[in-house]
Structure 1
Amino acid sequence: MIDKLILGTVQLGLDYGINNFSGKPSQEEAFSILNYAYDQGLRKLDTAEAYGNSIDVIGAYHNAYPNKRFDIISKLSPLVDVAKIDLRSHVDKSLNILSIKQLYAYMFHSYNSLKSKPSLFNEFIELKNKGIVKNIGISVYTNDEIEDIIENFDEFDFIQIPFNLLDNSKRRKTLVEKAKQKDIDTHTRSTFLQGLFFKNDQELQSKLLPLKPYLSRLNSIANRWQIPIADLAIQYVLQKEYIKNVLIGVETRAQLESNLVICKKYRALDWTEVDEIDVKELDLLNPANWI
């Protein structure tokens, strides 16, 4: 299951997540995280130009450990004025910082980034044709966005979507399978929904209280199955055969060690009860709406 994982690096460049009490790790801690990930067989990192200095941290790591090279998935910053840049030169700059020759994948940071300048899509395809990037993808949120990508932009190699115990198979499976029919793979993010699954009732901010019944149901399932909620969250996503890669993020090496232990614990489970959870407050499944 380790080869299915992508390590998210937003936490290496920014303080990120409502359950993040550790803050951004030091470079020494970041290198320790990356070393452990590599030594355990994890080979893909997810970063972005908008993730603070995470690209610089990865580049510094590659320079410090030249025999340990990760496959890098990066995203075009939504803050970049694409009308004023040459995209090839822009990506070359990132490659130089990362100390690599090719991006494993380059992504649109959001659906809006694509729709605001659709012609940029052809430039992404050109980057792939020239071997500057191996794959092209896009980060999307809603099912309507996924549907549009499938129908009108099927040259994408993959989509990256939220997928977890609440934003689950009931909402996503049909579209993910439809994407696969167009040779579009699916990467998932928000495995832990930014730490929401680890919060107790007293820690929930008022805006998130409508999610309390769903969280209680998940905890009930975990208790009945005698499985920690973290195990439940990771195994749920990893065991979905229609998902190609699963993105997880950590703030500390200890968290990574714990998560990789969970990944290695395969336990066949009947996920029907989780699949049937049907969250009505869809806006609360997007952490951008929690503020």
Structure 2
Amino acid sequence: MELALGTVQFGLGYGVAGSDQPISESEARTILAAAYEGGIRRLDTAPVYGDIEERLGALCGRLDFSIVSKIPAMPDGLDSTEAVSWLRASVDLSRRRLGDRLCGIIFHDASLPIGPHGAALREALADTLVGSRIRVGASHYSAETLPGAALWPDHLMAQLPGNAYDQRIDGLAEALADTEVSMRSAFLQGLLLVDRDRAVARVPEAAGWLARWDRWCTEAGLSSLAAALAIAKSFDTVDYCLVGVDSTAQLRDIISAWNATSAVKAPELAGADPHVFDPRQWRS
């Protein structure tokens, strides 16, 4: 498993622990340099992360990153012909922006390639990328949208959540065979790392579990950062652990903890409440 760097904070204020503003361009350049120095070679971006997809290539400069981007949610009311035109335009725009760095493009909405226009969209995506080395797939919230090889044999990249609370990804080895898996939300959007009052104010349903998490970290002799990464490392299905940061110092702390931490299985910490593991259900 390798670390990969998400770039949502480069374009948006994001996460429980994040600020309300995207990071500055100078800080973004410094973060990318520190990431490369620390051995990170994969970036994750999307057209909906503010304006970062269009700026990312220039920010990378000569740093040889590979980048995965996303096909955004489709506008409502399109017929199949319009949906195909929309998809082609979206993919072409990402390719123009990211050039040869683009190694993968995935549906941000995993229901699209298996929905009413799914067959047309899958065929158009394959046709648009013919002759390229760009792999395709989808960003999932659960196993329910994983398409299976029979439906979509080109689904070679999957992004899924996973962390100390949400350990569902650990049971998907068979479903994700021959698929490159990137795991997001290793820190549960910062919930595992921020002070308890702040975390509980944002997600009251997590209060009891967070107290248990704090006890577990203390008993294991690990900081919350090291503990979160140790558990992330234990998910054998995962190829890339995606992390997002707001500062260079934060990234360096993550890289240092990642390099110093061994995998630790902790199935006793797994929870099942979607009001905790799914940020779409958190209180605003």
Q: What are the Cα deviations for residues 165-198 of structure 1, in whole angstroms up to 9, with x where unaligned?
A: 0001xx3322x211243x2232110111111112
Tell me by how many angstroms 1:226 deviates.
Answer: 1.1
1:162 corresponds to: 161
Equivalent positions of 1:120-269 (< 5 A) are 120-131=121-132, 133-146=133-146, 148-149=147-148, 152-168=151-167, 171-174=168-171, 176-181=172-177, 183-205=178-200, 208-267=203-262, 269=264
Correspondence 1:105 to 2:81: no
Change in 2 beyond 3 A, CA 1:211/1:11: same
Give the conservation status (yes or no) of the 8 Å contact 2:15–2:190: yes
Q: CA RMSD in A?
A: 2.3
In structure 2, C-alpha distance between the alignment counterparts of 1:53 and 1:245, rounded to whole Å: 24
Change in 2 beyond 3 A, CA 1:11/1:207: closer
In structure 2, C-alpha distance between the alignment counterparts of 1:109 and 1:91, rounded to whole Å: 12
Tell me by how many angstroms 1:84 deviates.
Answer: 7.1
In structure 2, C-alpha distance between the alignment counterparts of 1:122 and 1:213, rounded to whole Å: 47
Amino acid at match of 1:275: P
Structure having the higher helix fraction is 1
| Overall identity of the aligned pairs, in % | 26
Change in 2 beyond 3 A, CA 1:21/1:257: same
Q: TM-score of the superposition, structure 1-length normalised?
A: 0.86
In structure 2, C-alpha distance between the alignment counterparts of 1:206 and 1:229, rounded to whole Å: 19
Change in 2 beyond 3 A, CA 1:16/1:150: farther
Which sections of structure 2, spanning at least 5 residues, go unmatched? none
Change in 2 beyond 3 A, CA 1:34/1:137: same
Amino acid at match of 1:5: L
Tell me by how many angstroms 1:16 deviates.
Answer: 0.8
2:192 aligns to what SS in structure 1?
A: helix
Structure 1 stretch displaced more, 33-42 or 260-269 = 260-269
In structure 1, C-alpha distance between the alignment counterparts of 2:84 and 2:101, rounded to whole Å: 23
In structure 2, C-alpha distance between the alignment counterparts of 1:214 and 1:112, rounded to whole Å: 31
In structure 2, C-alpha distance between the alignment counterparts of 1:205 and 1:225, rounded to whole Å: 23
Give the conservation status (yes or no) of the 8 Å contact 1:163–1:191: yes
Change in 2 beyond 3 A, CA 1:85/1:276: same
Amino acid at match of 1:60: A
Change in 2 beyond 3 A, CA 1:180/1:50: same
2:18 corresponds to: 20
1:279 aligns to what SS in structure 2?
A: coil
Aligned length: 276
Tell me by how many angstroms 1:150 deviates.
Answer: 5.5
1:72 aligns to what SS in structure 2?
A: strand
Q: TM-score of the superposition, structure 2-length normalised?
A: 0.88
Tell me by how many angstroms 1:267 deviates.
Answer: 2.9
